[in-house]
Chains A and B, each alone.
Chain A
Amino acid sequence: MLWRQIKNIVFTVFCSGSVLLLAAALLFFLVPMIWKGSQAVFFRKTVEFDKMQMELFRRGHPAVLEKITAQTNQARQPALALLDHFSRGVDTTLLSKEARSAYQQFGRHLRYREVSDEEYTRLREEAKDIRDAFLKAVETTDKTEAESFLDLVDAQQNNPSFQDSPFRIVFSLSKDYRQILQDIDLSRRSEYAAELDIVKTEMRKLFGPLPGESVPPLAQDRFGATRWDVAQKHLRYLIYQTKWVPSEQEDHRLIARQIRRDDPEEGIFGKTELAPLFSMVEQNLAAMLQPRPTIYWQYFLDDSTAGHYFGGAGPEILGTLLLTVLSMCFAVPLGVLSAAYLVEYAADGIITRVIRTCINTLAGVPSIVYGLFGLAFFVLMVGKPCILSASLTLGLLVLPVIIRASEEAIRAVPQSYKEASLALGAGKFRTFLTVTLPAAGPGILTGIILSLSRAAGETAPILFAGAVALGPIPNVGLHPKWLFQPTRALSYGCYDITVGDRLAMQVPHNQFGMVMTLILLVLLLNLAAIFLRWRMSRKLQGI
C-alpha cells in the first residue's frame, strides 16, 4: 500500500515537474533575450552617439553638441597628441613621406626663386643628400647608425640655403626623431608598429577618426564608441594585450595571459614614452566621452546603416506590418467564409471530408515548402519577389489557422440565437451575417490576432518571396507601386543580423534588439488574444 502511495506521489511530482520545466524553459528563453535586447533601447550614450544622431538622423541641438564636443576634445587632446608624437617615431612611412614632400617642395621653392641652373642643381643635390641621410636614419634599426646619419643631417642645419625654405622641416623632423630614439628600442620597431596599429584602431573605435585623418566613407568608421558599454570593451582591448606563455604544468601548453600594454616589465610599451597614454585614457575616459543614460525609443523608428551598425529597426517593423496586414486582407475573408460554409452549409459528406483533410494538410505543410511554392507560383505570377508575392504566401500559410479559429468561434454561438433569427424570417446567410458573425466576432478576432503573430514570425516562406536584408523603405501610398518592391522584415532581419551579417556581429545589442522587437510584437499580439478570450469567457459566464 505504502509503495503504491509513493509511486503515486512520485508520478505527481514528475508531472508537475515537467510543467515547471516548461516554465523554466520559457523563462530561460525570454529573460536573456528581452534583457539583452532592451540594451538596444536603454543604455548609456556617449558624446559620439550625439554626433552620430546629429549627422545621420538630424537629431539634437547643434549648440549643445558643440559645447560638449569642445569639452571632450579638450579632454582627449593630451592623449591624442601623445599617440601622434609616438607614432611618428615608429611609423617610418609617415616620417619618410614628410621628408620626401619637404624635398619636393624645396625644388618648387627654388624654381619659384628663379635661381640659376647651376645653383639649382647644386642645392638640389645637397638637399637630396640630406634627405637620403635622413631616410637611412629612419629606416635603419641600429641606433648608433641612425644617430650617425642624423649627425650628417644636423651638420647642415645652419646651412643658409635651407634657412627660409620648406626644407627646414627636415631638420625639425630629425630633432624629433633623435628624441624618439632615446626611448625606443629600434630592433623592436616592427613589433611596435604592429602593436601601435592595434592601439590606433582601438583609439579610433573609442574616439572616431584620429586628428588629421580624412573622413572615412563608411558610417561605422566615422564615429567612436557611441555607447558606454562598447567604450568599456574597447578600453579593455586598448589597455590589455594577450601574451601566449607556456603554462606551469607538465604539458607546457601555451595559455593566454592578459597583460597591460604599459606594464613596466612585460608590456610592450612599458618603457616607451607611450606608456602614460593607457592610464590617461583609462582615468579620463568619462571626461573624454561624457556618458549619460538615455532611452533611445527612436530605435523602433530609425533606419539603420549598413550591417545595422547604427540606427534601429524601423524599416523592418514597417515591412513586417505591411506583410502581415496585407496577408490578412487575403486570408481573413477567405477563412471566415470557408468557416461559415463548413459550419452552416456543409453536409457531412465525402466532399466535406476532402475539404477538411485539405485544410489539415495545408496546416501541416512545412513552412519552407510554402517558401518553395511562393517562389514557384506567386513570384512567377507577380513577376518578381515583392511585397505582394510574400504576403500572398503568408496569407496562404495562415489560412488554415483562421479557418479553424473562425469555425470554433462560429460553432460556439448558441443555437438559440440562430433560431431566433430564422424564426423572424431571415435567411440562412442573412442570419450568418447579422447574427452569427457579430456574436462570433471576438472569437474570430482572437484567431486573426493569433495568425497575425504567426505571420509576423514566419521567416522561411518569405525567404525567396520578397524579403531582403537591405533595401529601400517601401513608400506606402495610393499608388500601388510599393506592392511590387521587396521589403525588409523583422523575421528575416533577425536571421540576417545574427547569422548572415559579419558587421552586425560587432553590435550584439542591435542583434538582440531586433529579436526583442519581434518577440515583443508577437507577445503583445498574444497577450491581446489572451485578454480578449478572457473577457469572452467572463461574458459567457455572465459576470
Chain B
Amino acid sequence: MTTAVSQFDDAAVRFPRPLRLTFRDDLRSTLLSWLVKSFLFVVTFCSVAAVLLIFVFVIRQAAPFFMGDGGSAQERIREFFTSRRWFPEHQAHPEYGILAIIAGSFYVTIASLLIAVPTGLLAAIFLSDIASFRVRQICKPLIEILAAIPSVAYGVFAVMVVAPWLQKNLGFPTGTNALNASIILSMMAMPTIISIAEDALTAVGREIREASYGLGATRAETILRIVIPAAHSGILAAVILGMMRAVGETMVVWMASGNAAQIPSPWWDLSQSVRTMTATIAGELGEVPQGTIHFHSLFAIGLVLLIFTFCLNLLSEHFIMQMKKPKR
C-alpha cells in the first residue's frame, strides 16, 4: 500500500490486492488495533502504577516508625507533629518531633513566595499585555533558562556568593540562613509562576480586554480590575505550583538554609538558620543504617511531604480545570 502513496498517478493499477476486505482481514485488523490500543494503555498506565508504587513504598518504609516498638502509634504521631525537638541520634531518649522542621519548610516557602509572587505576576502581565512580540521572543528563553539551571548550581551560588555577601553587607552572624534560601527559592519558583500566570492571563481573551478599553479604562485598570479577576483561578494555580516547587526543593535549602532545627525567635527573624523537611531527609538518610527507627522516621517525613504536595497538586489541578472551563 505504501507504493500507492508514492506513485499516486497510477495508483489504481498498482494496488496489490482488491480493496474489499475479507472476513479474516477484517478480524485481523480489528484484533491488531485492539492489541495496539491495550498495549498503549498498559504503557500509559505505568505512570499510574508509578504514583501508586511511590505511595506504597514510602508508606511501607514509614509505617515501622509509627507502628514500631517502643510507644504506641498514637503517642508517636502526637510527638511527631507537636514536638519541636528533633534529636533522632540521641542514645537513650531519641526524640522525633518535626514541628520545627515543618515550620522551617513553611518559613522559606512563604518568604520565597512573598518575593516571587508579586515579581512573577508583574512579569507575567508584562509578557501577556505589555511586551511586543519581539520582546516576548527574547524574554521567553530567558525565563526558560532561569527554570533550567540546576538546583545544585543555585545552591552553590547561595553558599559561595550570596552567603558571604549577606554576612559582609548586612552583618548577619551567618550567611546560610532562611533569607538566603528564600531569595534563591524565589528565583527558582518564579519561572513556574510566570509561565502559568501568563497562560492564565492570555486565556482571558481579547474581547474582554477590548470591551474594557472601549469603555475608556487605562491599561492598568483593565488588567487590575478586569483581567486579573477573570484569570484568578489560573493565577492561584500558578501560586500553588510555585509553592510546590519551593516546598519540594532540596539542594538549595540543604546548602543555604543553615540546617538548624529551630523555629526562629522572634518569629519574623529570617536571618536565623532553619531546617526544612527536604534538607533533613537529604542530610540524614545517607548516614543512618537501614531499618532503624531514625531511617523510618525520615520516610515518615517524606510521606508528610508527599501528601502535602499531592494535596497542593489536586488543588492546582482544580484551579486549572476552572480556568479552562468556558466562562458561562
Binding site for B on A (CB under 8 A): 4-5, 7-8, 10-12, 14-19, 21-23, 25-26, 29, 32-33, 334, 337-338, 340-342, 345-346, 354-355, 357-362, 364-373, 375-377, 396, 399-400, 403, 424-429, 450, 453-454, 456-460, 463-464, 491-492, 494-495, 498-499, 508, 511-512, 515, 518-519, 522-523, 525-526, 530
- Asked whether B139 lies within 8 Å of A19 as measured between CB atoms, the reply is yes
**Is B317 interfacial (CB 8 A cutoff)?**
yes
What is the distance, in angstroms, from B216's C-beta to the closest C-beta of chain A?
Answer: 10
- Asked whether B218 lies within 8 Å of A366 as measured between CB atoms, the reply is no
- Asked whether B281 lies within 8 Å of A368 as measured between CB atoms, the reply is yes
- Asked whether B150 lies within 8 Å of A22 as measured between CB atoms, the reply is no
What is the distance, in angstroms, from A409's C-beta to the closest C-beta of chain B?
Answer: 16
Known: A8-B220, A512-B160. A365 touches B248 (CB 8 A): yes
Residue pairs across A and B with Cβ atoms less than 8 A apart, 25 shown, are A4-B218, A7-B221, A19-B122, A22-B194, A341-B43, A355-B45, A358-B47, A359-B47, A362-B47, A367-B248, A368-B278, A368-B302, A369-B309, A371-B281, A376-B60, A403-B47, A427-B29, A427-B32, A457-B148, A458-B150, A494-B155, A495-B156, A498-B255, A499-B255, A526-B141
Compute how far the CA of A429 lies from the CA of B39 in the bound complex, rounded to whole angstroms. 11
Compute how far the CA of A197 lies from the CA of B299 in the bound complex, rounded to whole angstroms. 50
**Interface size on B (CB < 8 Å)?**
90
- Asked whether B44 lies within 8 Å of A337 as measured between CB atoms, the reply is yes
Compute how far the CA of A15 lies from the CA of B33 in the bound complex, rounded to whole angstroms. 53
- Asked whether A366 lies within 8 Å of B306 as measured between CB atoms, the reply is yes
- Asked whether A519 lies within 8 Å of B248 as measured between CB atoms, the reply is no
- Asked whether A522 lies within 8 Å of B41 as measured between CB atoms, the reply is no
Compute how far the CA of A371 lies from the CA of B254 in the bound complex, rounded to whole angstroms. 14
**Is B71 interfacial (CB 8 A cutoff)?**
no
- Asked whether B156 lies within 8 Å of A357 as measured between CB atoms, the reply is no
Chain A residues near B36 (CB-CB < 8 A): 428-429
Known: A22-B146, A368-B305. A361 touches B219 (CB 8 A): no
Chain A residues near B261 (CB-CB < 8 A): none
What is the distance, in angstroms, from A461's C-beta to the closest C-beta of chain B?
Answer: 9
| Extra inter-chain contacts (15) besides given A15-B123, A358-B51, A364-B241, CB under 8 Å | A12-B220, A22-B194, A25-B146, A29-B154, A338-B44, A340-B40, A358-B48, A361-B51, A362-B50, A365-B309, A366-B248, A367-B248, A367-B249, A499-B255, A526-B145
Partner of B149 from A354, A358, A522 at Cβ < 8 Å: A522
- Asked whether A428 lies within 8 Å of B224 as measured between CB atoms, the reply is no
What is the distance, in angstroms, from B151's C-beta to the closest C-beta of chain A?
Answer: 7
**Is B286 interfacial (CB 8 A cutoff)?**
yes
Partner of B250 from A7, A368, A377, A526 at Cβ < 8 Å: A368
Chain B residues near A372 (CB-CB < 8 A): 58, 61, 281, 285, 298-299, 302
Partner of B220 from A7, A345, A360, A427 at Cβ < 8 Å: A7
The stretch that binds A, out of B93-101, B125-133, B203-211, B266-274, is B125-133
Most interface-central of B51, B129, B310 (chain A CB within 10 A): B51
Query: What residue of chain A has the Cβ atom nearest to residue B128's Cβ?
Result: A15
What is the distance, in angstroms, from A491's C-beta to the closest C-beta of chain B?
Answer: 5
**Is B312 interfacial (CB 8 A cutoff)?**
yes
Q: Interface code B212-237, partner A: CB below 8 Å = 1, 0 otherwise?
A: 00000011110110000000000000
Known: A11-B220, A366-B250, A375-B285. A22 touches B190 (CB 8 A): yes
- Asked whether B250 lies within 8 Å of A367 as measured between CB atoms, the reply is yes
- Asked whether B130 lies within 8 Å of A12 as measured between CB atoms, the reply is yes
Compute how far the CA of A425 lies from the CA of B19 in the bound complex, rounded to whole angstroms. 9
- Closest 6 pairs (CB-CB, A-B): A457-B150, A366-B248, A11-B220, A18-B122, A341-B40, A460-B250
- Asked whether A459 lies within 8 Å of B251 as measured between CB atoms, the reply is yes
- Asked whether A15 lies within 8 Å of B156 as measured between CB atoms, the reply is no
Compute how far the CA of A46 lies from the CA of B76 in the bound complex, rounded to whole angstroms. 61
Known: A376-B299, A457-B153. A511 touches B160 (CB 8 A): yes
Q: Interface code B153-194, partner A: CB below 8 Å = 1, 0 otherwise?
A: 111110111000000000000000000000000010010001
- Asked whether B190 lies within 8 Å of A460 as measured between CB atoms, the reply is no
